[in-house]
Structure 1
Amino acid sequence: MSNEVGSRKNSQNGGAAPAESGEITLKAKMSLLNGVTVIVGSIIGSGIFVSPTGVLMHTGSVNLSLIVWVVSGLFSMVGAYCYAELGTMITKSGADYAYIMETFGPFMAFVRLWIECMIVRPCSQAIVALTFSVYVLKPFFPSCTPPEEATTMLAICCILVLTFVNCWDVKWATKVQDIFTFAKLLALFVIIATGGYQLFLGKTEHFNFEGSNTQVTSIALSFYSGLFAYNGWNYLNFIIEELKDPVKNLPRAIAISCTLVTVVYVLTNVAFYTTLSPNEVLGSEAVAVTYAERLFGMFAWTIPVFVALSTFGAVNGILLTSSRLFYAGAMEGQMPEILTMIQIQRLTPTPAVLIMALLSLFYLFSSDIFALINYVGFATWLSIGVAVLCLPWLRWAQPNLPRPIRVPMVFPIVYLIATLFVTLVPMYASPVETGYGILMILSSVPVYLVFILWKNKPKFFQRFMDGFTSTLQKMMMVVRPKTSSKVFIFYF
């Protein structure tokens, strides 16, 4: 994730190279190792520290929960390989947004953009900020749940502080990202190492299928928590134009990183269950804290500190990467022009950062982390499923398109079947959360009809929106970066 940010920063501050035509283009500087670190850094965040409780809650047994973790990793790898073919076939920026635009047209692409900008990214940021709050406060409330008001207020402070950092200086933001990435890796290494020692001592009494809940609805909901932890496997596609020899390095990066993350996640869960019983995991809002209290004695404070640092960095990463998606949407005329602009003195994407922060604060009205995960899960896998559907559709509709990478057709078929399972079944099992998710997705329809499809808007409306955009520009002192490509104005 930090590599992606660094690339965006370079493009804003002279890191781009002029092409022969005079167009500003990005150089392909990223190696295979860089690609692996982007995917690993994007995936490993707060999910591994909050999802074990959610997975176990719906599976009922340790062994079944571990199976869900493994299958979630394989599911993500299959999806990533499908994206590899799409990314080398459709080379426009914007990843799955561009794939849907090319295959199904502007309306479906806008729905995908709306889901990502209005639900997935801000909701994920709210989840990570709440996880940060829980891990910071848990040592002060060792025998009870931290107060909801305190958790929410600390999450708000986290988002506001990082909003200021990202608006003030990109260098500060990237330094925060690099430092806190090491924190999460160190925390996981310590947990896995101590878990390995516990296994060596024969602590295996909790590894069984007792209490397994094999209802289809429960299994589907368990995948929401498991897949949330793997979210981010498609981030390399957003910067595929900066990857050296993508035909060779993209599938390699996917195989290495997804395998590595799956192994790390499974070993981390194994470590938890060498020491904690299923009831202890279910009763804990901060599993890593409870684990540390049982094993580390006077040094138990180190794990919640590292986890808090990790989640703090993850919030920062979402803010850092959001501007790329807004810009891709504006290039197609589907996002307000103001969101593509940068602050003239600080050279930061201030409007995009501020809108992400405001939307995230809205989601904090619900402090139920697992309800928020259900919102994100339903919206994410529905929209990614549509992106994967592009692959067989284009094989049929445009068979002559160049396909440097060609995956077996069984990959998208398996992924689409699994996507239907994890989106349709929870509509019955968790109707409230999925109902809200559907309403938020459907809200994209009137927005598209009024602001994009309706071309001949009254002049007074256009003047008003021009004036509103101009006022925002003056307030934030932002301008659109120079580019040879035309940016269409979306009068939002």
Structure 2
Amino acid sequence: MARVGASDNLQPKSSFDIQMTQSTKGNNNENSSGGEGGSCESSSGDNSSSNGIKLKKEISLLDGVAIIVGVIVGSGIFVSPKGVLIHSGSILQSIIVWILSGILSLVGALCYAELGTMIPKSGGDYAYIDVAFGPLPAFLYLWVALLILIPTGNAITALTFAQYLLQPFWPSCEAPVEAVQLLAAVITCFLTMVNCYNVKWVTRITDIFTGTKILALLIIVGAGAYYLFTGNTEKWDYPLEGSQLSPGFIALAFYNGLFSYSGWNYLNYVTEELKDPYKNLPRAICISLPLVTTIYVVTNIAYFSVLTPDEILSSEAVAVTFGDKMLGFMAWLMPFFVACSTFGALNGAIFGASRLLFVGARNGHLPAAISLINVKFLTPIPSLLFLGVVTLILLFIRDMYALINYVQFVEAFFTFMSISGLLWLRKKNPDSNRPIKVNLSLPILYLIICGFLMISSIYVSPMEVGIGSAIIVSGIPIYYLTIYRPVEVLTSMSQKLNIWCSKFFLCMPNQEKID
């Protein structure tokens, strides 16, 4: 199997790749037998690491499905499905885009299933790009994810939660910005604490709130079906009226549709904590993506049956507008369900994203302190706290939403690179163990469509594409200053931070053998 660790790829060693040989030798002897409250699992099939500190495999198939569905079905389907409608122009074309976006996401997820079972390590795109193309492209993905993709998405999800939880207290106006930011900060800290303490609590929260958001969507679908089957079919008399057939508008419609499906690869971030990943990773994908696609399509049909396109486009939260029109005195349920949905999505995003940072640090691309694991709870506490702090900072930046305009192209670019890596690894390492091997037509189809979307977006949104590309390129000098030719002062700072975190948070380096 291709090696995921950085020891073969990163030459010379990064200033961040600091080993704790001397400072943790004593802790090793004290805690190797389990320590206080910490039962250290052995690696499957590897007796040499039977006493090593490593992440525990506690995620079942049901938990995996709940994570994927919980992260994908965030606030988007409740708050703003109008992005697809704006660029599609008609309700039928919008429905077609939602269906095809789901199918394309499933194709991508199946390709990631092959990557995830061939490279059964946490980190998702980062791990796959590292194995296929080397440390620099992998670092650039980590750089963009750390700078924009992860903390910005988490911050916006937390703010959305706060806005809709506070809405009943300010029914005639928007809640004060300060109150929204404070509640968002509180919930971010709370979920970070839960993630630090117990993985089982994380999965239970994910399971419960995934069920809650599915219930909310079933209420919308039921109300829409009742409205439609009682003879109110006039909104479907001209379903193709206003269709936008320009390739640029079609690309933007798909971008918005695919953005609502983003999160289908989050289970790949936590592969090392998934029970029997060779079976449960593809099973979770094959269950969750068709389920989400079906939910999205029937929910949009319900929206279009009750609300006019103008009502959808003018609404700040389509589900709330739908509830006001259909649920009467129970309309308060929709803001509550939006809050529940975003709460579950934020919990799953914190869990998955912290593992990306953990693996990046373990490979020497971030300060080594972020790769430490708490000896009692067996969770990457420094990684979780680092992510939490960055998210808290972004909560109080007023123009943070502007960053979202540049995310979609960047995400598509690195997904394109990961799928390209699948084809490259088939040629480079044809004899690698592949428990799942998808038909060659699937990655080729995905690359063609993804390439079309990226090229089209250059013509339609050149500024957003340019700024997104500039953010990616800005990571190159950072790589050479901190990884390839490290500055001595950074090496010293990283080592001091590493030792301090290991003592303060009772952590040790990951000791699982990385093959």
Per the normalisation by structure 2, the TM-score is 0.81
Q: CA deviation at 1:13?
A: 4.4
The one-letter amino acid paired with 2:128 is Y
The one-letter amino acid paired with 1:190 is I
Root mean square deviation of aligned Cα: 3.1
Matched, 1:211 2:242: yes
Instruction: Give yes or no for contact 2:80–2:317 (8 Å, CA) kept in 1.
Output: no
Selected match of 1:331 from 362, 365, 383: 362
Q: 1:409 to 1:42 in 2, by over 3 A?
A: same
CA distance in structure 2 between the aligned counterparts of 1:69 and 1:205, rounded to whole angstroms = 22
Q: 1:464 to 1:421 in 2, by over 3 A?
A: same
Where does structure 1 lack aligned partners over 5 or more consecutive residues? Answer: 1-11, 487-492
Matched-pair identity in %: 47
State the Cα deviation string for residues 275-326 of structure 1 (Å, max 9, x = none): 1111111111111111111111111101211111210222222222332112
Instruction: Give yes or no for contact 1:119–1:379 (8 Å, CA) kept in 2.
Output: no
Q: 1:344 to 1:84 in 2, by over 3 A?
A: closer
CA distance in structure 2 between the aligned counterparts of 1:404 and 1:229, rounded to whole angstroms = 30
Selected match of 2:228 from 199, 207, 226: 199
Equivalent residue, structure 2, for 1:118? 147
Q: 1:218 to 1:154 in 2, by over 3 A?
A: farther
Instruction: Give yes or no for contact 1:29–1:243 (8 Å, CA) kept in 2.
Output: yes
Equivalent residue, structure 2, for 1:48? 77
Q: 1:180 to 1:403 in 2, by over 3 A?
A: closer
CA distance in structure 2 between the aligned counterparts of 1:362 and 1:425, rounded to whole angstroms = 34
CA distance in structure 2 between the aligned counterparts of 1:218 and 1:147, rounded to whole angstroms = 36
Q: 1:346 to 1:388 in 2, by over 3 A?
A: closer
State the Cα deviation string for residues 59-95 of structure 1 (Å, max 9, x = none): 2221111111111101101101111222222333323
CA distance in structure 2 between the aligned counterparts of 1:467 and 1:246, rounded to whole angstroms = 36
Equivalent residue, structure 1, for 2:284? 253
Q: CA deviation at 1:106?
A: 0.9
Selected match of 2:49 from 1, 13, 22: 22
CA distance in structure 2 between the aligned counterparts of 1:238 and 1:437, rounded to whole angstroms = 23
Q: 1:159 to 1:243 in 2, by over 3 A?
A: closer
CA distance in structure 2 between the aligned counterparts of 1:429 and 1:139, rounded to whole angstroms = 39
Q: CA deviation at 1:361?
A: 4.0
Equivalent residue, structure 2, for 1:8? none
CA distance in structure 1 between the aligned counterparts of 2:120 and 2:378, rounded to whole angstroms = 27
State the Cα deviation string for residues 380-416 of structure 1 (Å, max 9, x = none): 1211110000122122233333333222222111111
CA distance in structure 2 between the aligned counterparts of 1:428 and 1:149, rounded to whole angstroms = 39
**How many equivalent pairs are there?**
472
Matched, 1:237 2:268: yes
SS at match of 2:453: helix
Selected match of 2:511 from 483, 486, 489: 483
The one-letter amino acid paired with 2:151 is P
CA distance in structure 1 between the aligned counterparts of 2:314 and 2:162, rounded to whole angstroms = 17
Q: 1:292 to 1:351 in 2, by over 3 A?
A: same
Q: 1:70 to 1:148 in 2, by over 3 A?
A: farther
Equivalent residue, structure 1, for 2:348? 317
CA distance in structure 2 between the aligned counterparts of 1:228 and 1:203, rounded to whole angstroms = 31
The one-letter amino acid paired with 1:106 is P
Deviates more, 1:343-352 or 1:62-71: 343-352
Selected match of 1:359 from 346, 370, 390: 390
Equivalent residue, structure 2, for 1:128? 157
CA distance in structure 2 between the aligned counterparts of 1:368 and 1:67, rounded to whole angstroms = 31
Q: Which has the higher contact order (CA 8 A, sep 6+)?
A: 2
Instruction: Give yes or no for contact 1:128–1:311 (8 Å, CA) kept in 2.
Output: yes
The one-letter amino acid paired with 1:78 is V
CA distance in structure 2 between the aligned counterparts of 1:245 and 1:175, rounded to whole angstroms = 19
Instruction: Give yes or no for contact 1:88–1:246 (8 Å, CA) kept in 2.
Output: yes
Selected match of 1:427 from 446, 455, 458: 458
The one-letter amino acid paired with 1:392 is L
CA distance in structure 2 between the aligned counterparts of 1:152 and 1:482, rounded to whole angstroms = 35
Selected match of 2:405 from 374, 377, 380: 374
Instruction: Give yes or no for contact 1:134–1:285 (8 Å, CA) kept in 2.
Output: no
Instruction: Give yes or no for contact 1:167–1:350 (8 Å, CA) kept in 2.
Output: yes
CA distance in structure 2 between the aligned counterparts of 1:467 and 1:131, rounded to whole angstroms = 38
Instruction: Give yes or no for contact 2:70–2:209 (8 Å, CA) kept in 1.
Output: no
Instruction: Give yes or no for contact 1:135–1:289 (8 Å, CA) kept in 2.
Output: no
CA distance in structure 1 between the aligned counterparts of 2:285 and 2:193, rounded to whole angstroms = 34
State the Cα deviation string for residues 217-264 of structure 1 (Å, max 9, x = none): 222222232112211212233344555665555444322221111001
Equivalent residue, structure 1, for 2:99? 70
Equivalent residue, structure 1, for 2:219? 190
The one-letter amino acid paired with 1:17 is S
Per the normalisation by structure 1, the TM-score is 0.85
Matched, 1:278 2:306: no
Matched, 1:441 2:472: yes
SS at match of 2:234: coil
Instruction: Give yes or no for contact 1:225–1:373 (8 Å, CA) kept in 2.
Output: no
Instruction: Give yes or no for contact 2:357–2:383 (8 Å, CA) kept in 1.
Output: yes
Where does structure 2 lack aligned partners over 5 or more consecutive residues? Answer: 1-36
Q: CA deviation at 1:210?
A: 1.7
Q: CA deviation at 1:442?
A: 1.7
SS at match of 2:511: coil
SS at match of 1:480: strand
Deviates more, 1:212-221 or 1:257-266: 212-221
Instruction: Give yes or no for contact 1:152–1:367 (8 Å, CA) kept in 2.
Output: no
